[in-house]
Amino acid sequence: MNVTIEKIEINSFGKLKNAFLSLESGINLMSAPNESGKSTLAAFIKFVFYGFTGARMQSVSDNERKLYTPWDGEVSEGSITLTADGTRYTVHRRCLASGKDAVEVTNRATGRHELIGEIPGEVFFGVTEEVFARTLFFRQLTAPQSKDEILAERLRNIAISADEQVGTKKAVSELNAAKNELKSRMGNGLIPKAEKERDALEEAITASCDTRRDAEALNGEIEKRSKTLDTAEKKLKALRAERKNIEKYASLIKLQAINRLKLEERNAREEYEAASAGLKKRDDGSFGELFAKNTEYVAECRDCENASQALELATAERDALLNEKRIGISEAKDAERVINGSKRISNLLFIIAAIALVAGVITTLASPETMGLGIIIAVAGVVLAAVGAVVLGKPAGIAREAGFESVSELKDAITRLPSLEKQLNDAEARVNALEDELSESKTRCAILKRELDSGINGYIELSDANYSEQLQLILSLSAESGEKLAVWRAKKEELDNASEGFDVKALEEEAEGATEPERDKAKVDRELAFYTSQFDQLSELNRRDELTLATLEARSGDPALMIGKRDSLNARIDELNIKHRAYETAIAVIEESADYMKSMVAPRIGERADEYFTAATGGKYRGLEIDTRLSMSFGDDMRRSCEYLSAGTRDSAYLSLRLALADMLFGGCGVPIILDDAFGRIDDNRLRMISGAINEAARKHQIILLAHGDREARALDDIGAKYNEFNIEKL
């Protein structure tokens, strides 16, 4: 697209700060001394369109961000307003010293941000930063060197293919590489590899089908067993629900018992409070302490009676355990030691006796001379057997002495002794505790009785008959209140015992929805255990078979998938063969057409460069031509290399080449061309002629000419060129 820069605003960039420049189409000239910021201005234009380059370089001269970040700040910032194909845009860029870069392209007509995420220079000029810098930036003019390889490559591409992005040599090389990647002369490549893979798949498909048949048979067994498992699982679910209902119903029964005890405790408390309220109604304030003591005395007497009954029961339990204990601990240890020892000794004696008897018989029968010795040995064996029998019978005697009918009964008593001893200790501890409790209760009763008797006797002596009648009535009511208090205490204790360890709210939640069970817990548990065992066994069988099935399936793979992969490979092989043939055809076509394209395009570049060269030399030299290596020659009749020209004339030829190349690279569109002190090696006369080439280029392109003196202005004036002289102004 045709691009013209209208104005440049620099907030901070290098030495320039708060600067404003207004440009026009055609030639724009700024003459200023060295170190006044001309090169900084040229760098700023590239910065706005492409950002900084060399950001990772350590050297300041190679790292533009370090070079142009202001010394007194951390921000490089500014904007350029331009016209592109009739539409005005403002490109604003802001870059921090840390490297954070932000760019915005605003459409001046709509005010909207456009080209978000794109590089503005590549959109407006259609080339990368490197090509922009090598084609539109002119500093000291020099002939093409090795560093211009990219520029030379693009020129060669234009001469050969009419497209600066395409080079036939490179294209043929890449096509050959792509063709060999598919199939090389050595038999390598994607096509042979795919064919081997397809053959291997054929073998795998055959093996997979065999394995799949085995897997299908095993899968049938698993499915059959799974149906049985489903039935068992449903039965288990019903049994678990039934078992859960039994637990819920037990919670319901426990909850009902607790609620009943709560009701009884509340009724007993209300009866006690009613009785106590009756006492308070008849009390004139003189008998409060006496009434309280009488109530406490009645309750304490009831507690004493309860403790006495509990002591009788505990004593009877302890006595029963004592009667059950028929042998002491030390006696039991002695008896156990005798039983175990007699068994070991008797077994040893019986073994020796058996050996002696056998040896005696053998010795007796061996010969007449050893008969006597054999008889003696046999008799010794009999004696040892008799001793063993006596030793073996010793535990029976100990059992009889201890009052047991048999050794087994003695052993049973010894076995039960530790448990019985613990029960006796617990029973003895309970008896002692109840005795202490009863003794304390009796003591409290006696103390309360004495205090009550003393109080009543005192009131009777000091009161008249009416007081005596009132006291009898109050004492009667106090006795009733004490009875009610004792009943309330008993009910409260019963409720506390029943509720201990239970969360009533949790019981309510657990009992919710409970119904009376149809069967007892034991029967349900038996069925639950049976079906659980069946389910676990079948599940384990299925698990093992499923592992085997998974192994078979993993080993066999999916035949359908492999067949599909094989068919896909066949299609892929056909496709690759078509590509291989297409590459061969493309290589042949490109090689045949390369010479033709060279003859069509290269003259266009030479023709345009010759126009500029003629203007730059005042018509002295004509017939400038270039080849695809950027080599230049001139002359209408006899061709000569530009190397024979003087340095200044070679610079003119190179300028002509660059201007012609700008025309070709940018597709005939006008773009800004920046010349920064480009003519330092050129004398005034030759500069005047070069100005003609610049004036010719200004018909299409916007020229930004930066000079350190007035030579360029005088040269332009001499040829009558129109130009806009501008300066850096402060915002």
| CA contacts within 13 A on the Cβ side of 234 | 5
Answer yes or no: are the C-beta atoms of 136 and 703 closer than 8 Å.
no
**Pick from 202, 200, 197, 210: nearest CA to 555:** 210
Determine the residue type at 454: S
- CA gyration radius for the chain? 60
Using the Cα atoms of residue 46, residue 51, residue 57 and residue 61 in order, give the sign of their dihedral. positive
In a domain, 146, yes or no: no
Least confident interval from 25-39, 179-193, 278-292, 479-493? 278-292
Cα diameter, the chain: 170
Same domain, 297 and 351: no
Q: Do residues 15 and 67 both lie within one domain?
A: yes
Strands (E), 43-122: 75-84, 87-96, 101-107, 113-114
Q: Are residues 689 and 550 in the same domain?
A: no
Cα–Cα distance measured from residue 296 to residue 288, given in angstroms and rounded to the nearest whole number: 12
Joined tokens for residue 699: 């018909």
601 within domain boundaries: no
Backbone angles phi, psi at 109, to 5 degrees: -75, -40
* CB 55, CB 64: distance < 8 Å: yes
647-665 and 684-697 helices, crossing angle to 10°: 10
* Averaged pLDDT score across all residues of the chain: 79
Listed residue (694, 680, 692, 607) closest to 648, CA to CA:
680
Residue with the two structure tokens 């025309």: 663
**One-letter amino acid for residue 641 of the chain:** S
Report which residue type is found at 366: A
Tell me the average pLDDT across 209-214: 81
- Write the secondary structure of 391-404 as one string of H (helix), E (strand) and C (coil): HHHHHHHHHHHCCC
Do 437 and 293 belong to one domain? yes
Sign of CA dihedral 53, 57, 62, 67: positive
Domain boundary among 382, 403, 424: 403
Statement: residue 22 has pLDDT above 90: yes
Q: Are residues 337 and 466 in the same domain?
A: no
| Six token digits for residue 709 | 């003196």
Amino acid 26: pLDDT? 94
pLDDT for 3 equals: 94
Dist CA 529 CA 239 (whole Å): 10
Please check whether residue 154 is in contact with residue 665, taking contact to mean a CB–CB distance below 8 angstroms.
Answer: yes
What type of residue sits at position 566? R
d(CA 110, CA 263): 86
Element spanning 469, H or E: helix 465-499
CB contact set of 31 (below 8 Å; sequence gap of 6+): 707, 708, 709, 710, 712, 713, 725
In a domain, 613, yes or no: no
| 322 vs 310: CA distance, rounded Å | 18
Least confident of 68-82, 164-178, 501-515, 649-663: 164-178
Q: Please say if the pLDDT value at position 160 is more than 60.
A: no
- Separation of alpha carbons 112 and 108, rounded Å: 8
Final residue in a domain of this structure, among 388, 403, 418: 403
| Beta pairing class for 27-31 and 723-725 | parallel
Q: Both 384 and 440 in a single domain?
A: no
DSSP state of 186: T
Are 269 and 240 within one domain?
yes
**Structural domain contains residue 517:** yes
Greater confidence, 662 or 196? 196
Q: Among candidates 116, 94, 99, 117, which has minimal Cα distance to 107?
A: 116
Question: Mean pLDDT across the stretch 546-573?
Answer: 81
Dist. CA 43–CA 96, nearest whole Å: 17
Please give the structure tokens belonging to residue 209: 């089908």
One domain, residues 417 and 534: yes
Are both 501 and 552 inside the same structural domain? yes
Residue 2 and residue 670 in contact, taking contact as beta carbons nearer than 8 Å: yes
Residues 122 and 26 in one domain: yes
- Give 140's pLDDT tier (boundaries 50, 70, 90): low
Q: How many CA atoms lie within 13 A of 469 on its CB side?
A: 3
Cβ–Cβ contacts within 10 Å for residue 225, how many?
A: 15
660, part of any domain: no
The residue-averaged pLDDT of 109-116 equals: 93
CB 544 within 8 A of CB 295: no
Assess contact for 547 and 248: CB atoms under 8 A: no
Of 666, 673, 701, 702, residue with least CA distance to 125: 666
Tell me the residue type at 151: L
- How many domains are there within the chain? 3
Instruction: Inform me whether the pLDDT recorded for 464 exceeds 60.
Output: no
DSSP 491-505: HHHHHHHHHTT--HH
Using 50, 70 and 90 to split pLDDT, how confident is the model at 102? very high
Q: Is residue 617 part of a domain?
A: no
- What is the per-residue pLDDT for 466? 36
Of 474-488, 501-515, 533-547, the least confident: 474-488
pTM listed for this prediction: 0.43
Contact 38, 708 (CB under 8 A): yes
Half-sphere exposure of 656 (CA within 13 A, CB side): 34
Whole-number Cα distances in Å, 76 to 65, 102, 317, 537 = 8, 11, 103, 78
Tokens of 198: 């397809």
SS3 671: coil
Q: State in Å, rounded, how far the first CA of the chain is from the last one.
A: 30
Q: What is the mean pLDDT of residues 181-192?
A: 83
The proportion of the chain whose per-residue pLDDT surpasses 70, expressed as a percent, equals 81
Considering the domain architecture, whether residues 332 and 380 belong to the same structural domain is answered as: yes
Residues in the chain: 731
C-alpha span between 327 and 471 (Å, rounded)? 61
Q: Answer whether residue 1 is part of any domain.
A: yes
Q: Are 265 and 488 in contact (CB under 8 A)?
A: yes
Backbone dihedral region of 59: left (phi > 0), alpha (psi from -120 to 50 degrees) or beta? beta
Residue 6: its pLDDT value, please? 95
Q: Residue 48 is part of a domain; what is its CATH number?
A: 3.40.50.300
Mean pLDDT of 240-259: 86
CA angle at residue 349 from 344 to 350, to 5 degrees? Answer: 100
Q: For the packed helices 149-161 and 129-136, what is the interaxial angle rounded to 10 degrees?
A: 90
- Could you give the angle at which helices 288-324 and 465-499 cross, rounded to 10 degrees? 40
pLDDT of residue 142: 47
Structure tokens at 239: 């049994």
622: confidence class by pLDDT, cuts 50, 70, 90: low
Reading the block at residue 365, the tokens are 């029968």
Range of the domain at 249: 212-326+408-557
Residue with tokens 């019978």: 393
Q: What are the contacts of 576-581 at 24+ separation with CB within 8 A?
A: 576/182, 576/183, 576/190, 576/191, 576/194, 577/191, 579/178, 579/182, 580/179, 580/182, 580/183, 580/191
| One domain for residues 493 and 354 | no
Per-residue tokens: 256:
């009902």
CB neighbours (10 Å) of residue 496? Answer: 11
pLDDT category at 637 given cuts 50, 70, 90 is low
Phi then psi for residue 102, to 5 deg, are -135, 135
Comparing 403 with 436, the larger pLDDT belongs to 436
Which one is predicted more confidently, 296 or 109?
A: 109
Strand 702-707 with 27-31, pairing: parallel
Specify if 207 maps to a domain.
Answer: no
**How many C-beta neighbours within 10 Å does residue 15 have?**
13
Domain C-terminal end among 346, 376, 403: 403
